Amino acid sequence: DAKTTQPPSMDCAEGRAANLPCNHSTISGNEYVYWYRQIHSQGPQYIIHGLKNNETNEMASLIITEDRKSSTLILPHATLRDTAVYYCIVRVKTSYDKVIFGPGTSLSVIP
């Protein structure tokens, strides 16, 4: 089973911020939180990752709670092209051992 839980689906209006939550209550101190997304019929695409500080890049922002048991991915201005399945995973220290992506959150951006 995946080590994270996410809502199965969410809707977001185009142009608004999309906030995607993830629970990872059993995360270890040396595990990072990663976010990927999968647009229909394509391979997953890396978005962002973090350990305990909030992170921002050109695609999104990642907010990690102080106890690290949950996080939120923020797409600041969602577009129709952001419609995808979003996966939150936690990684063990040195590799992708035991990592399972899924089932993720299916985000629909609505015009």
Partner 1 sequence: DTAVSQTPKYLVTQMGNDKSIKCEQNLGHDTMYWYKQDSKKFLKIMFSYNNKELIINETVPNRFSPKSPDKAHLNLHINSLELGDSAVYFCASSLPGQTSEQYFGPGTRLTVT
Q: For binding to partner 1 (CB under 8 A), which residues are involved?
A: 2, 30, 32, 34, 36, 38, 41-46, 49, 85, 87, 91, 93-104
Q: Which amino acid is at 74?
A: I
Closer CB to partner 1, residue 67 or residue 95?
95
**In the complex, least distance from residue 97 CB atom to partner 1, rounded to whole angstroms:** 6
**In the complex, least distance from residue 95 CB atom to partner 1, rounded to whole angstroms:** 6
The full length of the chain comes to 111
Closer CB to partner 1, residue 15 or residue 103?
103
Closer CB to partner 1, residue 17 or residue 51?
51
**In the complex, least distance from residue 93 CB atom to partner 1, rounded to whole angstroms:** 6
DSSP string over 12-72: EETTS-EEEEEE-TT--TTPEEEEEEE-TTS--EEEEEESSS-EE-SS-EEEE-TTSSEEE
DSSP strand pairing (84-91 vs 32-38) = antiparallel
**In the complex, least distance from residue 51 CB atom to partner 1, rounded to whole angstroms:** 8
Nearest CA among 41, 36, 42 for reference residue 22: 36
